[in-house]
Chains A and B, each alone.
Chain A
Amino acid sequence: MKTKLLLILWAGWLISFTTTIHPSGFFIPQYPSSWPKPIYDFENKPLSIATVELGRKLFYDPFLSKDSSISCASCHLSYTAFTHTDHPLSHGIYDSVGHRNAPSLVNLAWSSHFMWDGAIHQLDLQALAPINDPGEMGETTAGVVAKLQASPPYRQLFAAAFGKGSISGAWMLTALAHFQLTLISSNAKYDRVKAGKELFSSQEQAGYTLFQANCATCHAEPLFTNGQFENNGIALSPELKDLGRFSVSQSREDSLKFKVPTLRNNYYTKPYMHDGRYKSIRQVLQHYSKGPMNPHCTSLPKNGFAFSPKEQVDLIAFLNTLNDSTFLFNPAFSFPN
Chain B
Amino acid sequence: MIKQLGWLMGCLFPFLLAAQEDSLSVEVQVIYQQQPVHVQEEDTDSTPLDSIQWNTVQFYLYCQLINNASPTNSFLPANYKLINLEEKSSQQFKIGKPSNANQLQITLGIDQKTSEQGVLGGALDPVNGMYWTWQSGYINVKLEGIHPSISTKDKHFSYHLGGYRAPFLAANTRDFSIQPACKKVVLKLDLTPFFDLASQLTTYRLMSPGQTAVRLSQTLAASISIHEN
Contact = CB atoms under 8 A, between A and B. Distances in A.
A210 interface: no
A131 B118 contact: no
Interface string B131-158: 1111110000000000000000000000
B130 to A, nearest CB: 10
Contact of B119 (A131, A132, A173, A248): A173
Interface stretch (B4-12, B22-30, B50-58, B120-128): B120-128
A170 B120 contact: yes
Interface string B6-48: 0000000000000000000000000000000000000000000
A250 B211 CA distance: 10
A141 B127 contact: yes
Contacts of A125: 118-119, 126, 131, 136
A145 B127 contact: yes
Interface in A109-134: 119-125, 128-129, 131-133
Contacts, number: 66
B210 interface: yes
Given A120-B135, A120-B136, A128 B126 contact: yes
A133 B134 contact: yes
Question: Among the interface residues B118, B119, B120, B131, which one has the most CB atoms of the partner chain A within 10 A?
Answer: B119
A131 B126 CA distance: 12
A122 B136 contact: yes
A141 B126 contact: yes
A128 B118 contact: no
B127 A122 contact: no
Interface string A154-169: 0000000000000011
A241 B128 CA distance: 32
Interface in B69-124: 116-121
Nearest to A165: B121
Contacts of A124: 118-119
Contact of B121 (A122, A132, A168, A177): A168
Q: How large is the interface on A (under 10, 10 to 19, 20 to 34, 35 or more residues)?
A: 20 to 34
Contacts of B120: 170
A104 B129 CA distance: 28
A121 B128 CA distance: 19
A214 interface: no
B135 A170 contact: no
A129 B133 CA distance: 5
A142 B134 contact: no
A129 B136 CA distance: 9
A168 B128 CA distance: 10
A174 interface: yes
A252 interface: no
A239 to B, nearest CB: 19
Nearest to B164: A121
Interface in B207-225: 210
A171 B125 CA distance: 9
Contacts of B210: 250
A173 B133 contact: no
B117 A122 contact: yes
A120 B168 CA distance: 16
Contacts of A168: 121, 125, 127
B119 A121 contact: no
A128 B121 contact: no
A128 B125 contact: no
Nearest to A249: B165
27 contacts: A45-B118, A119-B135, A120-B136, A121-B116, A121-B136, A122-B118, A122-B119, A125-B131, A128-B126, A129-B134, A132-B134, A141-B126, A141-B131, A141-B133, A142-B128, A142-B129, A145-B127, A168-B121, A168-B127, A169-B119, A169-B128, A170-B119, A170-B125, A170-B127, A171-B121, A250-B168, A250-B210
Interface of B: 116-121, 125-129, 131-136, 165, 168, 210
6 closest residue pairs by CB, A with B: A169-B127, A119-B135, A132-B133, A170-B121, A122-B118, A128-B133
